[in-house]
């Protein structure tokens, strides 16, 4: 059984799928691990580090992709400089484990199915107690929530903590976190550590205790509909509920020095939480960090990948924040992937058991077909939206 770690070619991707420590564990189990030359360089793990852990360094990309049983990546397969897709390099019947964004870009799933690749999407790992060690979305979201607060603190022209000095008392910054999932909770904890006064909002009332346990005030909006989707994620709500929510949070946004938005819906446009009117009411010098920038942004003024100043308010739309902390991001992701490997490999042989709820949920393509109904629906919707070619 041969496992290979690919070097990421996406420009902003600095993470690597396995680190030397996790390679060593797999090698001890009798598995052969190939690592593409330079795969860990941007995560500060050298080829000699991998060799010391028992990996074989492969310089030939085509050989690594074409002769492996299981290929491990971080980012979805990309188009190469020669115009070919990385998917074309995989042999038929190979297994690919990676973030695949199958709901946001289902065309990739179709390409993998056409190649008869068994593809397991790290985004589709179910949020269950048994799957916690494999939950890469949560591990990476925690990094994003932490880094978002540091970015905000650096951009804010104020202190975060309250300070009593000979020149007078400095009031603490007011931070408002929108969305109390993994990223939001980590943002709350980090902002509190820095001494800010923190409020948080989420449409899911069940997170109230978690928010309060971290020392933040929970802003509650009572809605007459279900707000929790499968897996514990926030559900997209009706227009009436969105209007009610905006009315409540507008005052909190107005009075905040920092707003951090984290609300995302898998495969959908990010919900619009902060309107231009709300931004216009914020104090000059205030900061918004929009963690949903890649999905269009929770803020109406967000420009993905850019820092802009709109009406005196700095709006930051970071892309792939976990990649900005590649050492720990890779460490956590590698642990997630390795845990999944333990489930897939028994007695040095690959066993894709669809009776296992984790494997069944994560496996997007197998034997030339797209297995997941949500991905099939997303692909159909994508094909419907494409303009007809005359």
CB-based contacts of 367, cutoff 8 Å, min separation 6 = 116, 118
| Cα 203 versus chain centre, distance | 20
Q: What three-state secondary structure class fits 374?
A: helix
Closest to 123 (Cα-Cα) out of 104, 152, 103, 99? 99
Query: How far, in Å, CA of 340 to CA of 91, rounded?
Result: 21
Q: At a CB cut-off of 8 Å and minimum separation 6, what does 155 contact?
A: 287, 289, 307, 314, 316
Dist. CA 281–CA 264, nearest whole Å: 24
**What is the sign, positive or negative, of the torsion defined by CA atoms of 246, 252, 255, 257?**
negative
Name the token pair of 9: 């070619």
Pairing of strands 197-201, 217-219: parallel
DSSP-assigned beta bridge partners for residue 156: none
Cα–Cα distance measured from residue 244 to residue 261, given in angstroms and rounded to the nearest whole number: 18
Rounded CA-CA distance 5/15 in Å is 11
Catalytic residues: 127, 132, 135, 138, 233
Q: What is the 3-state secondary structure of 78-112?
A: CECCCCCEHHHHCCCCCEEEECCCCCCCHHHHHHH
CA distances from 359 to 85, 323, 340, 387 (A): 26, 26, 9, 35
Tokens of 68: 């492996």
Do the Cβ atoms of 98 and 77 come closer than 8 Å? yes
DSSP reduced 3-state for 271: coil
Element (H, E) at 144: helix 136-155
Judge contact between 141 and 389, C-beta under 8 A. no
């Amino acid at each position: 059984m041969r496992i290979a770690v690919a070097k990421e070619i996406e420009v902003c991707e600095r993470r690597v799928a396995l680190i030397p420590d996790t390679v060593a564990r797999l090698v001890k189990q009798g598995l052969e691990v190939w690592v593409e030359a330079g795969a860990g360089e941007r995560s500060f793990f050298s080829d000699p580090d991998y060799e010391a852990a028992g990996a074989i360094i492969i310089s030939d990309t085509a050989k690594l992709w074409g002769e492996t049983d299981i290929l491990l990546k971080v980012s979805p397969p990309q188009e190469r400089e020669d115009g070919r897709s990385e998917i074309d390099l995989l042999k038929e019947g190979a297994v690919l484990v990676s973030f695949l964004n199958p709901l946001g870009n289902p065309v990739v799933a179709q390409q993998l199915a056409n190649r008869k690749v068994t593809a397991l999407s790290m985004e589709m790992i179910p949020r269950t107690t048994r799957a916690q060690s494999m939950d890469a979305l949560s591990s990476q979201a925690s990094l994003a929530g932490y880094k978002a607060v540091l970015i905000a603190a650096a951009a804010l022209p104020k202190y975060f903590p309250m300070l009593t000095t000979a020149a007078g008392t400095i009031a603490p910054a007011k931070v408002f976190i929108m969305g109390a999932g993994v990223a939001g909770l980590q943002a709350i904890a980090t902002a509190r550590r820095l001494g800010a006064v923190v409020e948080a909002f989420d449409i899911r009332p069940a997170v109230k205790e978690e928010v309060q346990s971290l020392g933040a005030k929970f802003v509650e909006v009572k809605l007459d509909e279900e707000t929790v989707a499968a897996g514990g994620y926030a559900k997209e709500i009706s227009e009436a509920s969105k209007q009610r929510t905006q009315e409540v949070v507008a005052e909190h946004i107005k009075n905040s020095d920092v707003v951090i938005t984290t609300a995302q819906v898998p495969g959908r446009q990010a919900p619009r939480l902060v309107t231009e009117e709300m931004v216009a009411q914020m104090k000059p010098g205030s900061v918004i960090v929009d963690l949903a920038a890649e999905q269009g942004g929770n803020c109406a003024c967000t420009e993905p990948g850019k820092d802009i100043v709109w009406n005196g308010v700095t709006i930051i739309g970071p892309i792939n924040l976990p990649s900005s902390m590649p050492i720990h991001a890779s460490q956590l992701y590698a642990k997630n992937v390795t845990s999944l490997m333990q489930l897939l490999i028994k007695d040095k042989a690959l066993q894709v058991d669809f009776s296992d709820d984790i494997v069944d949920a994560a496996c997007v393509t197998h034997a030339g077909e797209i297995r997941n109904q949500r991905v099939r629906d997303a692909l159909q919707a994508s094909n419907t939206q494409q303009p007809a070619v005359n």
